[in-house]
């Protein structure tokens, strides 16, 4: 039932106290004698003393069999019994850990977190040893899932203090701590943590050490998202061509920085994070598209000038829609080949539907002005104030789909 490490658990998932025995009373009808992993129950009867032997190991095996049959809550009931009857023994800690795993499978996230916390409360000191690492990993991932950011950060920080943590799990824990730190509103602290994971992954690979690709790939994606958030700083609202070009150059720089990070995540060797990044590449193109169309239309234009302005805008943003659609088409192929399922795949399909709807609407409303605008944009070249961003947006978005 023990987990295989933080990287594996990250793929699968993203304080209670054990009940105490009743106080002793004079001449009890039932006496308990602990002989770990055995519990002897002696009961006075009219015919003498009946002795019942309870084996913690047998109970744990019974619960494990129920868990294997997906009878999670029945298994939890037995683990509760073991934890209560064998309080203060290694059997209690084992039962609490296994209970947490069963509650995870039952999707009782808070119950699982409380069970792992109770297990960790039995540890000897503040810094976890090797035996505590699985419970601490589960606790951190569950707290993150429940958006208990402070609790998650505490778990990951404790994890990183452990000398028993492998280099690979240390990189994975660093990514998780960075993600939580971002959620706590401190991206400046998180950024060097993510960059460190990438650097150490590259160094380990260069030294021919086994390197799981997921931590570095996720780090690239998170850095890409941090860059993309800077699009909120951009406004394309200046009537002055020189100032508009400056605004567009800023947009181009932000787009390029985010794009390169997301592309690195796509090509990083992790099928899951490649699909996550592939969705966000398409979303990045569409974000820039929305930025252009959310820009205010000059109020001084006549109706005829406004129609020409909108036709020119459609011509300039055609590449955005084409690249978003291509990125998402490739992403669905990538996901199908790798057998990846989940929200990113669903969002990719939804994004494609939106782009196709926009293109169909444009085709239905196409006028001779659109032909003229496209010819004008093609002939402008570097004199077009949008040339810098159009060059960026013309980057290859992935080429051949990398194998899973």
pLDDT at 77 over 60: yes
**What tokens were used for 36?**
């770990």
CA 202, CA 198: separation in Å to the nearest integer? 6
Report the pLDDT value the prediction gives residue 391, as an integer from 0 to 100: 53
Gyration radius of the chain's alpha carbons = 29
Report the pLDDT value the prediction gives residue 6, as an integer from 0 to 100: 59
Q: Could you tell me where in the chain the CATH 1.25.40.10 domains are found?
A: 1-21+33-212
**What tokens were used for 118?**
């109770």
CATH of 1-21+33-212, one of 1.10.240.10, 3.40.640.10, 2.40.30.260, 1.25.40.10: 1.25.40.10
Report the pLDDT value the prediction gives residue 374, as an integer from 0 to 100: 80
> Taking the model in full, what pTM does it have?
0.79
Most distant CA pair in the chain, distance: 107
CA 276, CA 329: separation in Å to the nearest integer? 14
Instruction: For 49, list phi and psi in degrees, rounded to 5.
Output: -120, 125
The average pLDDT across 195-222 equals 96
Cα-to-chain-centroid distance, residue 108: 19
CB 209: neighbour CB atoms within 10 A?
A: 11
- Note the pLDDT tens digit of each residue in 227-269: 999 998 888 877 777 787 788 888 888 999 999 999 999 999 9
Report the pLDDT value the prediction gives residue 192, as an integer from 0 to 100: 98
CB 147 within 8 A of CB 183: yes
CA distances from residue 391 to 63, 256, 259, 328 in whole angstroms, order as listed: 62, 10, 13, 20
Least confident segment among 83-92, 328-337, 340-349 = 83-92
Classify strands 38-45 and 30-35 as parallel, antiparallel or unpaired: antiparallel
Report the pLDDT value the prediction gives residue 27, as an integer from 0 to 100: 36
Least confident segment among 87-96, 229-238, 393-402 = 393-402
């Amino acid at each position: 039932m023990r987990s295989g490490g933080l990287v594996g658990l990250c793929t699968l998932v993203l304080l209670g106290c054990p009940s105490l025995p009743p106080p002793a009373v004079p001449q009890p009808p039932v006496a308990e004698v602990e002989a770990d992993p055995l519990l002897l129950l002696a009961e006075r009867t009219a015919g003498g003393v009946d002795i019942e032997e309870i084996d913690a190991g047998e109970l744990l095996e019974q619960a494990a069999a129920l868990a294997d049959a997906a009878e999670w809550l029945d298994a939890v009931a037995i683990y509760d019994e073991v934890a209560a009857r064998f309080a203060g023994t290694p059997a209690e800690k084992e039962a609490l850990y296994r209970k947490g795993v069963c509650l995870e499978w039952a999707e009782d996230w808070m119950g699982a977190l409380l069970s792992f916390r109770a297990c960790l409360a039995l540890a000897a000191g503040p810094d976890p040893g090797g035996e505590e690492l699985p419970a601490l990993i589960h606790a951190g991932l569950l707290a993150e899932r429940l958006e208990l950011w402070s609790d998650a950060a505490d778990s990951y920080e404790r994890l990183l203090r452990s000398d028993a943590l492998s280099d690979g799990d240390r990189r994975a824990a660093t990514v998780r701590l960075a993600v939580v730190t971002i959620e706590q509103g401190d991206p400046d602290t998180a950024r060097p943590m993510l960059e460190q994971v990438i650097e150490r992954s590259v160094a380990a690979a260069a030294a021919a050490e086994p390197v799981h690709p997921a931590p570095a790939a996720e780090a690239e994606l998170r850095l890409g998202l941090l860059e993309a958030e800077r699009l909120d700083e951009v406004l394309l609202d200046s009537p002055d061509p020189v100032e508009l070009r400056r605004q567009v150059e800023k947009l181009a720089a932000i787009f390029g920085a985010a794009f390169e990070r997301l592309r690195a995540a796509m090509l990083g060797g992790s099928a899951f994070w490649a699909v996550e990044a592939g969705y966000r590449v398409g979303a990045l193109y569409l974000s820039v598209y929305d930025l252009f169309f959310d820009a205010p239309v000059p109020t001084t234009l006549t109706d005829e000038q406004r129609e020409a302005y909108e036709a020119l805008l459609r011509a300039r943003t055609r590449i955005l829609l084409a690249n978003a659609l291509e990125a998402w088409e490739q992403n669905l192929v990538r996901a199908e080949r790798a057998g990846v399922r989940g929200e990113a795949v669903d969002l990719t399909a939804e994004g494609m539907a939106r782009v196709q709807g926009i293109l169909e609407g444009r085709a239905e409303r196409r006028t001779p002005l659109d032909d003229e605008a496209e010819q004008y944009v093609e002939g402008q070249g570097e004199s077009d104030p949008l040339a810098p961003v159009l060059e960026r947006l013309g980057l290859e978005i992935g080429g051949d789909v990398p194998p899973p």
